[in-house]
A and B are shown apart, each in its own frame.
Chain A
């Protein structure tokens, strides 16, 4: 029984993402429409999490999709994580989930019970998000992949932009880093139960709750931390000409993940993330394991928000009550020589 499930997981989740650099090159070659549609409030120019299209002065549609191969052995848990990860893009914009469609790739010869469990896990998260699963599309494929296409709504005036950060903001991260390292350790049988349980709890937690808290504050910039790692996503937030300083001892993380980095349980995706942003990052006396943690691709990672420092402590207290490691990890500065300084 276990045998079949082992074939199922080959190291997926957001580690399976194409590198950011490769993607930028391909996207930059695509022709753009001649006339800009003024109702398209957010497209892909700003590396945002989702597209936002205005329907009326009060309502805009938020549209996103996300799917990937399994990163855990249990199909039901995988379904929950894949759904939480796909739904997260809506929450990173500050929106509400309305409807979702399943995206399924599944080998014809595999036990359909497994697919049932995946979709059950996914459905549960869509319901928890307050949305409805309204259909989907399935393809026979050599490997399992699952995710959602999600439609949400948002008030056009209350969108969390990706790159609206301001100087003197502080950066708040709502979930621990390290799930990529822990899943990699688990794949080779080296993850502790505590670390694995915390990683699963973090990945299956909807960003809905953190997003609802953040809406009460002046959020200048917000994104969810996924495949490009903390530094990759932070780079996108700083795109309009800001730099950031991170305090490495304040980075919330799964405690064992640093030891896994020291044991060299390193993914290709983390190295691609390093290659993509390394030139912009200066590490000052930071241990190797901490560097790796900051490049670690996250599956269903937390929200990274930029907000005025006067409001940050109170926001942090509310987020802490959600029960996952979280913290104020650094601050935003006017552009200096390097984009990101970690000390």
Chain B
């Protein structure tokens, strides 16, 4: 059992230190000592988000303990989802998201851009990320410097999502030097990816 004494440390440090230890563990529990009730709430909030079991206890006015447990159960679930994702990872199931405009839907472009920004953020919150995101025509404006969607695309790229923007389109809009996330691709690759996709999502 790991033990962290985070008394005297202000948020977010108790949470960050606990998370670092949890990230190295396969199973077992961590007991964290903190000196205020708010830090307890922040630790419990993290455990809840990570779907881990937790309990807390007030020892004295300035000492609280929070115990977070990674159980074999959560391990099994993790293993299962790994197996499932192995099955998913065949050609039939490959998910490709196509962003062919900087607007989502037709009607009003100002609204469309707000919706598209929201869609890209909502993608980052999905349990299963797509394997590839293709950006062409107006969609090319979403992956260039200054676009509000860049941070979310970068986040997905960091988790292994391939972000590909059409080079012809970047040239057309004069944005060739401005690509801020992912890489440039051409029509052959776009056609190949779409032809081999298991599922194509077009918002």
Point out residues on A near B: beta carbons under 8 Å: 10-11, 184, 188, 192, 194-195, 248-250, 255-256, 258-259, 264-268, 271-272, 274-275, 287-289, 325, 327
Are A271 and B45 CB-contacts (below 8 A) given A264-B19, A266-B11? yes
| Interface presence of B186 (CB below 8 A) | no
Cβ A258 vs Cβ B121 within 8 A: yes
Cβ A266 vs Cβ B45 within 8 A: yes
Are A264 and B10 CB-contacts (below 8 A) given A255-B150, A259-B155, A275-B41? no
Point out residues on B near A: beta carbons under 8 Å: 10-13, 15-16, 19, 36, 38-39, 41-42, 45-46, 49, 114-115, 117-118, 121-122, 124-125, 148-152, 155
Residues of A within 8 A of B49 (CB): 264, 288
A287 to B36, CA, bound (A): 27
Instruction: Give me 16 A-to-B residue pairs in the complex whose CB atoms sit less than 8 angstroms apart, sorted by A's number.
Output: A11-B10, A188-B12, A188-B16, A249-B121, A255-B151, A258-B151, A258-B152, A264-B12, A264-B19, A264-B49, A265-B12, A266-B45, A271-B41, A271-B42, A272-B38, A289-B125
A268 to B16, CA, bound (A): 13
Residues of A within 8 A of B46 (CB): 264, 266
Residues of B within 8 A of A195 (CB): 151
Cβ A265 vs Cβ B16 within 8 A: yes
Cβ B125 vs Cβ A287 within 8 A: yes
Residues of B within 8 A of A184 (CB): 12
Cβ B39 vs Cβ A249 within 8 A: no
Q: A188-B16, A248-B118, A258-B152 are in contact. List 8 more A-B contacts (CB 8 A).
A: A10-B10, A249-B121, A259-B151, A259-B155, A265-B12, A265-B16, A266-B42, A271-B11
Cβ A268 vs Cβ B38 within 8 A: yes
Top 8 nearest A-B pairs (CB, nearest first) are: A249-B118, A255-B151, A268-B11, A287-B125, A268-B38, A256-B151, A264-B46, A271-B38
Residues of A within 8 A of B11 (CB): 266-268, 271
Q: Which residue of B lies closest to A272 (CB)?
A: B38
Residues of B within 8 A of A248 (CB): 118
Are A325 and B148 CB-contacts (below 8 A) given A10-B10, A266-B11? yes
Cβ B125 vs Cβ A266 within 8 A: no
In angstroms, how far is the closest chain A Cβ from the Cβ of B98?
A: 20
Q: Which residue of B lies closest to A254 (CB)?
A: B151
Cβ B12 vs Cβ A267 within 8 A: yes
Cβ B114 vs Cβ A249 within 8 A: yes
| The one of B10, B117, B151 that contacts A268, using a Cβ cutoff of 8 Å | B10
A188 to B12, CA, bound (A): 9
Cβ A249 vs Cβ B125 within 8 A: no
Residues of B within 8 A of A274 (CB): 41
In angstroms, how far is the closest chain A Cβ from the Cβ of B13?
A: 8
Cβ A255 vs Cβ B148 within 8 A: yes
Residues of B within 8 A of A259 (CB): 124, 151, 155
A249 to B125, CA, bound (A): 13
In angstroms, how far is the closest chain A Cβ from the Cβ of B11?
A: 4
In angstroms, how far is the closest chain B Cβ from the Cβ of A210?
A: 19
In angstroms, how far is the closest chain A Cβ from the Cβ of B170?
A: 20
In angstroms, how far is the closest chain A Cβ from the Cβ of B148?
A: 6
Residue of A249, A255, A288 ringed by the most chain B CB atoms within 10 A: A255
Residues of A within 8 A of B152 (CB): 255, 258
In angstroms, how far is the closest chain A Cβ from the Cβ of B105?
A: 13
Residues of A within 8 A of B16 (CB): 188, 264-265
A194 to B147, CA, bound (A): 12
Residues of A within 8 A of B117 (CB): 249
Q: Which residue of A lies closest to B48 (CB)?
A: A288
Cβ B121 vs Cβ A250 within 8 A: no
A325 to B149, CA, bound (A): 13
Are A268 and B42 CB-contacts (below 8 A) given A11-B10, A188-B12, A287-B125? yes
In angstroms, how far is the closest chain B Cβ from the Cβ of A191?
A: 12
A267 to B15, CA, bound (A): 10
Residues of B within 8 A of A256 (CB): 151
